[in-house]
Amino acid sequence: MSVTARDTAVANAGSVREWLRDVPAIPFLILGCIAFAAIFADFLAPYDPQFGSLTDRFKPPFWQHGGSLAHIFGTDHLGRDVYSRLIFGARVSMVVGFTAVIVSGVIGTVLGIVSGYLGGWVDQVIMRLTDTWLALPALTFAIFLAAIVGPSEMNIVIILAAVYWTRYARIVRGEVLSLKEREFVRLAVVAGCSKISIMRRHILPNVVNSSIVLATLMLGVVIVTEASLSFLGVGVPPPKPAWGVMLSDGKQGLMVGYWWLTVMPGVCIMLMVLSANLLGDWLRVKLDPQLRQL
Amino acid sequence: MLNSTRNSASSDVMPPLLELRNLSTHYVSASGSRVVRAVDDVSLTLHAGDTVGIVGESGSGKSSLALTLLRVLPPAGRIVSGQMLLDGDDLVPKPENEMRRIRGKKIGMILQDPMASLNPLFTIGDQVGEPLREHEGASRSSAWKRAIGLLKSVRIPSPETRVTQYPHEMSGGMRQRIVGAIGISCEPRLLIADEPTTSLDLTIQLQYLNLLRDLQKEHNLGLIFITHNLGIVAKMCNFLAVMYAGKMVESGPVSQVFNNPAHPYTEALLSSIPRMTENRRRLTAIEGQPPDMSNLPPGCAFAARCPRAFDRCRTEEPPVFTPAPGQTARCWLVAPESRATGAVS
């Protein structure tokens, strides 16, 4: 008994190592750095991200002529430190991105399971709603919602969740349709399990993998959408240092050579989205080979 | 004969465990234009401790009958008439939530495919204990403890370690025994086994059948055994019901039906079993195909394939006759008048 237990423990440790062996290291590292910056922003940022000194406006990054190590990525039109703003911007992207993905994932997965398992008119209602939802262009729809509820970080999360839950509902429903024909679900039915406990105990654990994969892939989409909304002025309200807001603030400077105001947040967005997507692709193959054509 | 006397003796004392009266289940297409009578006017009586074997070709309605008993028909299926009395209590008009408490609790079921019957993500202990938690509100730990006992009763070696394992760690025979353990976990009165051994190899089949029979004796279960293997019926059952095109064409005590089949279809089924002793006779197959269930011919559904069909068979549907005590058949050949005129030759 104890021998077998130890053997399994060893085998598990081996399989964990095996599992982690082909983790895409670079995306993982980038996301880790961004997460680290987001969590410890207060300690890492050398300056206050919302207030600058107007005497230090448009300072270039340190390697350019006129730049200094005091502001390694330069300053913007209000003399705020770009590096500090990027660090605090990571916090906004992370918080908004993750919460929106989780909220939309939970809503979409639950509705997908209910729709797929119960079928009938419930399925019809939820799926027609999803169809209608998907027919609306996501960004336009998000701007429309933002115009109604007004800009704030909380509202952005609600809007993004409201826009993107349909993707989960679609995919989860498809999975549930095939799952509910599986013999173990039938066995649960003939054993007298209620619909709720079948959905909770037999269906949910079997679709969670797909939801997680989809969530990882959606992380990139959600971050881009958040940045777009902020860029358009309907996202995170301006004094807050979101990457999209920084892009928007910096765009006038682009023509007169203040390139660092747009390139720095742009690169950050790109790196984060790229990492999220690469990680999602890897997870998809890892967790659910059948979903490769998702 | 012995069985039928025992049956009638016990039925005087108490109502039968299960009594089906003229039960009919139809599948109706969405437009309502096509109707398949999957179970048509079936009557059957089963006493506790008895085993009835339901035999028939694929599509003859035997699995539909099982689904009807538990009322877990697909959305298109309806029970259109008849009664299902479990301990004298009719299940047909029961509301869904009451029916749910009967499934698994009073009527257990074992499904065909053991490899797919278990959820790959849960341990054996969780799955065997699930009906206990669902029906008796047992806590996780007490359900787990009882699961160990159940695994022991289905002869799984070292059940204490097995409960912590996952289905992929078991062999097919073990999984089917575990499915059996789930079937009996709430000590049901009636167990329906829908071709439980088709996907097992022969030696495991025999073990499993012995196990089922021992469990039945131990718990005094009524057992409904759905199969297309008459050899299994001979081994397991004391009562046989033959289904064809949704109808129960013949039923009776196994020895009676095997020795004196009244319906030509039963006769044909019996002569299509390979026998080790008569190796010189050719194996006879039943000519033709089963009829289209949504478009049955008038008269007897078997008439087109029946070697002994006569005019009346093609025009008029045979009612239930009683060729011998305890035996029923839906065939004009055993009608009292055709016997008198000597139509049986």
Q: Is the pLDDT of residue A219 over 60?
A: yes
What is the spatial order of strands in the sheet that B77-86 belongs to? B35-46, B18-28, B77-86, B89-90
Of B100, B118, B131, the CB nearest to A184: B118
The encoded tokens of residue B189 equal 């009165």
Q: What is the distance in angstroms between the Cα of B262 and the nearest Cα belonging to chain A?
A: 35
| pLDDT band at A292; cut points 50, 70, 90 | very low
What is the spatial order of strands in the sheet that B222-227 belongs to? B107-110, B190-194, B222-227, B51-55, B239-244, B247-253, B327-329, B321-324
- 């998702």: which residue's tokens? A294
Q: What is the pLDDT of residue A6?
A: 46
**What mean pLDDT do residues A212-224 have?**
89
SS (H, E, C) chain A: CHHHHHHHHHHHHHHHHHHHHCCCHHHHHHHHHHHHHHHCHHHHCCCCCCCCCHHHCCCCCCCCCCCCCCCCCCECCCCCEHHHHHHHHHHHHHHHHHHHHHHHHHHHHHHHHHHHHHCHHHHHHHHHHHHHHHHCCHHHHHHHHHHHHCCCHHHHHHHHHHHHHHHHHHHHHHHHHHHCCCHHHHHHHHCCCCHHHHHHHHHHHHHHHHHHHHHHHHHHHHHHHHHHHHHCCCCCCCCCCCHHHHHHHHHHHHHHCCCHHHHHHHHHHHHHHHHHHHHHHHHHHHHCHHHCCC
- 């240092």: which residue's tokens? A241
| pLDDT band at B275; cut points 50, 70, 90 | low
Residue B170 in any domain: the answer is no
The encoded tokens of residue A184 equal 């173990």
Q: Is the pLDDT of residue A165 over 70?
A: yes
Residue B264 in any domain: the answer is yes
Residue B183 in any domain: the answer is no
Using the beta-carbon criterion (under 8 Å), do A189 and B102 form an inter-chain contact?
Answer: no
User: How far, in Å, CA of B137 to CA of B101, rounded?
Assistant: 12
Q: What is the pLDDT of residue B270?
A: 85
- Of chain B, the percentage scoring pLDDT greater than 70 comes to 90
Q: For residue range B125-141, list pLDDT tens digits in order.
A: 888 888 888 888 888 88
- Collapse the DSSP code of B165 into the 3-class scheme (helix H, G, I; strand E, B; otherwise coil) and give the result: coil
Q: Is the pLDDT of residue B285 over 80?
A: no
- Of chain A, the percentage scoring pLDDT greater than 90 comes to 23
| pLDDT band at B7; cut points 50, 70, 90 | very low
Q: Is the pLDDT of residue B3 over 50?
A: no
The encoded tokens of residue B282 equal 């050719």
Q: Is residue A24 classed exposed, middle or buried when 0-12, 13-18 and 19+ CB atoms within 10 A define those classes?
A: middle
User: How far, in Å, CA of A162 to CA of B156, rounded?
Assistant: 51
Q: What is the pLDDT of residue B339?
A: 59
User: What's the number of domains chain B is made of?
Assistant: 1
Of A182, A184, A191, the CB nearest to B131: A191
**In terms of residue numbers, what domain contains B81?**
2-106+188-273+289-341
C-alpha dihedral sign at B312, B318, B322, B324: positive
User: How far, in Å, CA of B142 to CA of B132, rounded?
Assistant: 9
Q: What is the pLDDT of residue B279?
A: 59
Question: CB distance from B131 to chain A under 8 Å?
Answer: yes
CA angle at residue B114 from B108 to B115, to 5 degrees?
A: 150
Name the residue of chain A whose CA is nearest to B126's CA.
Answer: A201
Whole-model pTM: value is 0.79
- The answer regarding whether domain A8-287 maps to CATH 3.90.260.10 reads no
Q: Is the pLDDT of residue A174 over 70?
A: yes
Q: What is the pLDDT of residue B120?
A: 85
- Among B121, B175, B185, the strongest candidate for a mutation testing the A interface, having the largest count of A CBs within 10 A, is B121
Using the beta-carbon criterion (under 8 Å), do A190 and B111 form an inter-chain contact?
Answer: yes
Using the beta-carbon criterion (under 8 Å), do A191 and B104 form an inter-chain contact?
Answer: yes
Using the beta-carbon criterion (under 8 Å), do A183 and B117 form an inter-chain contact?
Answer: yes
Q: What is the pLDDT of residue B9?
A: 44
| pLDDT band at B118; cut points 50, 70, 90 | confident
**What torsion, rounded to 10 degrees, do the Cα atoms A73, A74, A77, A83 define?**
40
Of A119, A190, A205, the CB nearest to B104: A190
For residue B205, what are the CA distances in angstroms to A86, B117, B236?
68, 17, 12
Task: Report chain A's mean pLDDT, rounded to a whole number.
Answer: 84
Q: Is the pLDDT of residue B158 over 50?
A: yes
**What mean pLDDT do residues B64-79 have?**
87
Nearest CA to B266 out of B283, B245, B251 is that of: B251
User: How far, in Å, CA of B155 to CA of B178, rounded?
Assistant: 9
Cross-strand pairs, B46? B18
- Which CATH number do you get for residue B225? 3.40.50.300
Q: What is the pLDDT of residue A113?
A: 94
Chain B, residues 264-303, CB within 8 A of chain A, namely: none
Q: For residue range B41-58, list pLDDT tens digits in order.
A: 888 889 888 899 999 888
Q: Is residue B166 classed exposed, middle or buried when 0-12, 13-18 and 19+ CB atoms within 10 A define those classes?
A: middle
- 């009938």: which residue's tokens? A120
Chain B CB contacts of A188 under 8 Å are 119, 130
Cross-strand pairs, B250? B242, B329
Q: Is the pLDDT of residue B344 over 60?
A: no
